[in-house]
Amino acid sequence: MPDSNPFADPLRFERQVPECAIVIFGANGDLTKRKLIPSLYRLAYERRLPATASIIGTSRTALSDDAFRAKMHDSVKEFLEDSPFDEDQWTGFAKGLHYIAGDLSDPKLYSAIKEKLTALGRTNVLYYLSTQPSYYAEVVERLGAAGLGHTTPQGWQRIVIEKPFGHDLASARELNERVHGVFAEADVYRIDHYLGKETVQNILAFRFGNGIFEPLWNRRYVNHVQITAAESIGLEGRGAYYQEAGAVRDMIQNHLLQVMATIAMEPPAAYEPNAVRDERAKLLRSIRILRPEEVPLYAVAGQYAGFRHEPNVDPASQTPTYAAASFFVDNWRWAGIPFYIRSGKKLPKRTTEIAIQYNTAPHALFTPDAGGVIMRPNLLILRIQPEEGISLRFLSKQPGSGMRLRPVSMDFNYGSSFGERSPTAYETLLEDALTGDATLYTRQDMVEASWQVVTPILEDWANRQFEYPNYEPGTWGPAAADEMLARQGHVWRNS
């Protein structure tokens, strides 16, 4: 809702999503059925999507509108998160679902979309690219050729592009140029669903909404930072995609570097799209680019035993299913402080968290000789999933005689403070795109900066032959990752 509306009351009512159509390319895919349609249904359920909203799914598979609706009905029932399914609500929602079968390379598909939009009377359109990334540029150009994709006074046309945005820096730049041939930058929404997670957004609230943490948020007090995104599962049928992507492209280049930027960025002047994104972009540009000879020291690749036997995976694959890297931020706040990032599949548990380890007390008043003292540095843990919350670890005197210290934890748990269900990342991000709020979307300069950070690692690994597998499923990755930290006197927080 524009601020200029004197009737606006953002504390009381939601921004209004205007009458619009959402065109999903790749409507037969996993993302559509697991995330997009359940999220749109939930937005409609909460009256955050107008009752008249139209959703047009397209893919190659021949389906009638009714067959598409039936398929989505089952998907929503199965994948709706933390909320019950309402059959009556679905009936109303399903009326807005339409389907057009067609080949992404066939101009007729785009003519059919245009006709449908005209028939529905929709001038505000959000296109969602949920196809294979290799089709992104072609779809955009064909939309342009069909006279679609241009915002006019009669209505906006926006496009949401799923990651990966490019395969490397050069392809990201090329894709960007081709997208800009049709859509203005303001209408391009590059989605990184991590940024839509409540807990990632809460990092900003935690840092900039409180007075006590920000003064401790710098090289003077912080010893190092660990960012972990561990998955206990393997490929789950995504062998073809994952073999091409690997851990760096799948997680680090996008999600985890964005999380790191959120943790390390400077305070923006205001909470508005460009101010926040400018600070994230500045931080990403401040990450020191590794020199080729530094890569073996500061980055570790791993592949779990059994990966090469997964369906659609090359039996001699050199794709890393685990990646860890040490990054340094060259600015006044963080100079010399390592940011360790790791992500892997088939690790002992599913967890995403940021652990900020503080320096120990400057003078060891309580020494181990004094009797059973366990000296541990303070640790601030921001848990993104699955148990969303924040913990602070500090030392406390054990009850009884003597001065025995023991680490204890002070916990904030989302569930115990906010009984309400949190919106899923896709609900948040879809609503934002529909109302024109790009704060939680990445910008081209951010995408390019993060590609620049990982490029030396990707290039080095592409030219090496690793002796894979180098870690067993259910372990915390290759021993080399532990050694990388040990060289700097640190250890991974494996709990």
Enumerate binding residues for another protein (CB under 8 A): 1-2, 5-9, 11-13, 16, 18, 47, 81-84, 413, 415-421
Return the number of the residue (416 or 495) whose C-beta is nearest another protein.
416
Min CB(448)–another protein separation in Å: 35
Min CB(5)–another protein separation in Å: 5
Q: Please state, in angstroms and rounded to a whole number, the distance separating the CA atoms of residues 175 and 158.
A: 16
Q: Which helix (H) or strand (E) holds 301?
A: strand 299-302
* Token pair 């930058």 in the structure block, residue: 185
Q: Which residues pair with 159 in a beta bridge?
A: 127, 188
Return the number of the residue (123 or 343) whose C-beta is nearest another protein.
123
Min CB(7)–another protein separation in Å: 4
Return the number of the residue (171 or 391) whose C-beta is nearest another protein.
391
Q: Which residues pair with 327 in a beta bridge?
A: 339
Q: Please state, in angstroms and rounded to a whole number, the distance separating the CA atoms of residues 416 and 399.
A: 27
Q: Are the C-beta atoms of residues 98 and 57 closer than 8 Å to each other?
A: yes
Q: Are the C-beta atoms of residues 154 and 116 closer than 8 Å to each other?
A: no
Min CB(81)–another protein separation in Å: 8
Return the number of the residue (79 or 394) whose C-beta is nearest another protein.
79
Min CB(255)–another protein separation in Å: 24
Q: Are the C-beta atoms of residues 358 and 222 closer than 8 Å to each other?
A: yes
Catalytic hit among 73, 98, 167, 255: 255
Return the number of the residue (366 or 412) whose C-beta is nearest another protein.
412
Return the number of the residue (246 or 389) whose C-beta is nearest another protein.
389
* Token pair 């785009």 in the structure block, residue: 110
Q: Are the C-beta atoms of residues 213 and 207 closer than 8 Å to each other?
A: yes
Min CB(377)–another protein separation in Å: 27
DSSP string, 332-364: TTTTT-EEEEEEESS-SS-EEEEEEEEPPPSS-
Min CB(366)–another protein separation in Å: 29
Min CB(20)–another protein separation in Å: 12
Return the number of the residue (113 or 390) whose C-beta is nearest another protein.
390
Give yes or no: 255 in active site.
Answer: yes
| Residue 186, phi then psi, degrees to nearest 5 | -65, -20
Q: Please state, in angstroms and rounded to a whole number, the distance separating the CA atoms of residues 435 and 1.
A: 7
Return the number of the residue (81 or 266) whose C-beta is nearest another protein.
81
- The amino acid at residue 272 is E
Return the number of the residue (82 or 214) whose C-beta is nearest another protein.
82
- The secondary structure of residue 32, as a DSSP letter, is I
Q: Please state, in angstroms and rounded to a whole number, the distance separating the CA atoms of residues 377 and 449.
A: 33
CA distances in angstroms from 60 to 57, 94, 137, listed in the order given: 10, 21, 18
- CA nearest to 200, candidates 65, 379, 382: 382
DSSP string, 154-177: TB-EEEEEPSP--SSHHHHHHHHH
Min CB(447)–another protein separation in Å: 32
Query: Could you tell me where the DSSP H helices lie in 85-134?
Result: 87-94, 107-120
Q: Please state, in angstroms and rounded to a whole number, the distance separating the CA atoms of residues 334 and 330.
A: 7
3-state secondary structure 401-465: CCCCEEEEEEEEEHHHHCCCCCCCHHHHHHHHHHHCCCCCCECHHHHHHHHHHHHHHHHHHHCCC
All residues at 6 or more sequence positions from 447 whose CB lies less than 8 Å from its CB, including other chains: 165, 166, 172, 176, 190
Active-site residues, by number, are 255
